[in-house]
């Protein structure tokens, strides 16, 4: 396991055990590398779809993962086919998501970290605040 993945998992565990607060967590987690893929892609059934976790009011959560293995596990369970795994720091993913949301898109996106493990969410309305916290 790479150092970035170890650091991300350590931070997630500390946060889950309430050893660090949300602000401290986000400040440090913003620097860690996460794994994700594009929100739209091919499904094993031959169709294409959004691979977002549904949220309220035409929103969805882009899943990001602390390890490559967790990303693969999630996308395999979701039936995703032929996807690209992207590795970037969490802060950059937040910034990119915010920029995409400013476009004319049908579904606005928030972020969910390690769904099925931790499920830390950043709602659409809080993206810019969290971006500032992770700077």
Per the structure, the count of domains in the chain is 1
Could you write out the DSSP letters of every residue in 15-81? HHTTSS-HHHHHHHHTTSEEEE--SEEEETTS-EEE--EE-SSSEEEEEEBSSHHHHHHHHHHTTEE
27-66 tens-digit pLDDT = 999 999 999 999 999 999 999 998 999 998 889 999 999 9
- Which tens digits make up the pLDDT trace of 96-120? 999 999 998 889 999 999 999 987 9
Q: Which of 1-5, 70-74, 98-102 comes out lowest in average pLDDT?
A: 1-5
19 touches 29 (CB < 8 A): no
Please report, rounded to a whole number, the percentage of residues in the chain having pLDDT higher than 70. Answer: 99
Q: Report the distance separating Cα 61 and Cα 103, nearest Å.
A: 17
SS (H, E, C) 74-90: HHHHCCEECCCCEEEEH
CATH number, domain containing residue 110: 3.40.1350.90
* Polymer length of the chain: 135
Domain that holds residue 28: 3-134
């Amino acid at each position: 396991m790479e150092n970035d993945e170890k650091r991300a998992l350590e931070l997630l565990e500390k946060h889950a055990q309430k050893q660090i607060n949300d602000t401290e967590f986000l400040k440090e987690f913003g620097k860690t590398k996460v794994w994700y893929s594009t929100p739209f892609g091919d499904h094993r059934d031959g169709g294409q779809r959004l691979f977002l976790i549904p949220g309220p009011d035409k929103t969805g959560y882009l899943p990001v993962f602390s390890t490559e293995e967790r990303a693969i596990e999630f996308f395999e369970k979701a039936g995703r086919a032929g996807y690209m795994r992207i590795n970037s720091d969490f802060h950059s993913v937040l910034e990119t998501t915010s920029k995409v949301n400013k476009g004319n898109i049908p579904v606005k996106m928030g972020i969910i970290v390690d769904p099925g493990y931790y499920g830390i969410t950043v709602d659409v309305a809080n993206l810019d605040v969290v971006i500032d916290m992770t700077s």
